[in-house]
């Protein structure tokens, strides 16, 4: 099967190889397990050097003539022509949503009566409205309503949640629940007594809905405890206007290679996700696979993963600080949550998820 995979892909290219922080070889291998050929349509950034690992998967890359999301909407006629061309030249199509490219290609599929499948990984209205980009806020209602239409008319829909996204974007055709992460079994090496207490979070500082502002305010409360705490942040962007702390040290490590992420998780004693919206949370799942307790906001699909007493209301800085402090001072609570998370996440182990995805893709191909 020749597959066209549609998403807002951004790749780096140094003249020899392509690089991606979110779509490395591990992301593509799950599709090559079922298909013979994958075509993608990314925006390309020319670089002299990348600190990411090169993509070795045999992708067929078609560079699109847009360098930003804004340029897509400033050239709607060209974008629509590209979408029609993608549909007409494709054998099988998978559209990952929400995405700008995905919406246009999905609408083109509907117009041309072309069968397609969707991967539903987030809530378009919340993700774009809360992103922080003024353009995204304006077009969020259009993307939300269009995504509802595209998902509803897809021949097959794969959701990363069990309940949340199915309620937001229903599909009455072939429906599958396949999480957006393949979890490996990791031995639990983190210990409560490691000092200083180290907390981690992954998310772009340029994306407001990840909730860094909530974390930084919660740290002001934790700073009053006079306990040394280290915060390790991964993700794009730069730290700005960070409050001054006496006992809390914040490190922003940017984007690191996937091979270094394992060591990063193993250095933590707690993972936090104070998002304003979140479909499921791949980073939450990865943290749980290392036996880490997780404190998170009670939004989107997060409550499907994290136990209720580790959740706090969105933007509730004092509530977040209280949950963290409980784990900081209570080793028995920390151990119980660690054990629960490590056991619970095994249902999403790589071989199980891969088989679920094979079933979904093969049924689509029938």
At residue 134, the pLDDT reads: 86
Q: Hey, what domains does the chain have and what are their CATH numbers?
A: 2-181+351-365 (3.40.50), 197-348 (3.40.50.2000)
Torsion of CA 160, 165, 171, 175, to 10 degrees: 30
At residue 366, the pLDDT reads: 37
At residue 348, the pLDDT reads: 84
At residue 181, the pLDDT reads: 66
At residue 356, the pLDDT reads: 81
User: 113 phi and psi, to 5 degrees?
Assistant: 55, 45
Question: Strands 197-202, 37-40: parallel, antiparallel or unpaired by DSSP?
Answer: unpaired
Count the alpha carbons within 13 Å of 362 in the hemisphere toward its beta carbon.
Answer: 9
294 beta partners: 271
- Element of type H or E holding 126: helix 124-129
Q: Is residue 46 a contact partner of residue 13, using CB atoms and an 8 Å limit? A: yes
18 DSSP assignment: E
Q: Is residue 253 a contact partner of residue 232, using CB atoms and an 8 Å limit? A: yes
Torsion of CA 356, 364, 42, 30, to 10 degrees: 30
Q: Please state the pTM of the whole predicted model.
A: 0.80
At residue 229, the pLDDT reads: 97
The pLDDT tens digits along the chain (366 residues) read 899 999 999 999 999 999 998 898 888 988 898 889 999 999 999 999 998 889 999 999 999 999 999 999 999 999 999 999 999 999 999 999 999 999 999 999 999 999 999 999 999 998 888 877 888 889 999 999 999 999 999 999 999 898 999 999 999 888 888 876 667 777 777 677 778 999 999 999 988 889 999 999 999 999 999 999 999 999 999 888 788 899 999 999 998 887 789 899 999 999 999 999 888 888 999 999 999 999 999 999 999 999 999 999 999 999 999 999 999 999 999 999 999 999 999 888 877 877 888 888 776 543
- Element of type H or E holding 32: helix 25-32
Task: State the distance between the two ends of the chain, measured CA to CA, in whole angstroms.
Answer: 11
At residue 164, the pLDDT reads: 92
At residue 344, the pLDDT reads: 92
44 beta partners: 11
252 beta partners: 233
Cis peptide upstream of residue 360 (ω within 30 degrees of 0): no
- Cβ-Cβ contacts under 8 Å for 34 (sequence gap 6 or more): 1, 357, 358, 361, 362, 365
Q: Is residue 176 a contact partner of residue 119, using CB atoms and an 8 Å limit? A: no
CA 176 from centroid of its chain's CA atoms: 19
């Amino acid at each position: 099967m020749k597959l066209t995979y549609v998403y807002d892909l951004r790749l780096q290219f140094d003249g020899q190889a392509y690089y991606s922080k979110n779509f490395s070889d591990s992301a593509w291998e799950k599709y090559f397990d079922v298909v013979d050929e994958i075509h993608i349509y990314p925006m390309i950034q020319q670089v002299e050097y990348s600190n990411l690992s090169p993509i070795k998967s045999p992708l067929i890359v078609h560079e699109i003539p847009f360098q930003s999301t804004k340029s897509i909407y400033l050239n709607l006629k060209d974008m629509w022509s590209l979408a029609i061309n993608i549909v007409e030249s494709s054998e099988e199509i998978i559209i990952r949503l929400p995405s700008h490219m995905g919406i246009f290609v999905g609408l083109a599929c509907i117009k041309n009566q072309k069968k397609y499948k969707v991967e539903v990984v987030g809530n378009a209205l919340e993700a774009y409205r809360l992103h922080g980009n003024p353009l995204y806020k304006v077009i969020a209602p259009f993307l939300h309503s269009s995504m509802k239409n595209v998902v509803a008319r897809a021949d097959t829909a794969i959701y990363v949640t069990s309940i949340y996204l199915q309620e937001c974007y229903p599909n009455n055709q072939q429906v599958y629940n396949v999480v957006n992460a393949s979890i490996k079994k990791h031995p639990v090496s983190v210990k409560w007594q490691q000092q200083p207490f180290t907390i981690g979070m992954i998310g772009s500082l340029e994306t407001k809905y990840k909730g860094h502002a909530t974390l930084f305010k919660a740290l002001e409360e934790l700073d009053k405890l006079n306990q040394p705490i280290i915060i390790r942040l991964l993700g794009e962007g730069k730290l700005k206007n960070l409050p001054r702390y006496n006992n809390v040290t914040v490190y922003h490590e940017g984007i690191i290679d996937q091979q270094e992420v394992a060591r990063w998780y193993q250095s933590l004693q707690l993972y936090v996700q104070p998002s304003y919206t979140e479909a499921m949370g791949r980073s939450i799942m990865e943290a749980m696979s290392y036996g880490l307790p997780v404190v998170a906001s009670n939004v989107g699909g997060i409550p499907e993963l994290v136990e209720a007493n580790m959740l706090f209301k969105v933007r509730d800085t004092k509530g977040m600080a209280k949950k963290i402090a409980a784990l900081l001072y209570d080793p028995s609570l920390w151990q119980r949550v660690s054990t629960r998370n490590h056991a619970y996440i095994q249902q999403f182990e790589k071989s199980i998820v891969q088989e679920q995805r094979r079933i979904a893709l093969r049924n689509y191909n029938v």
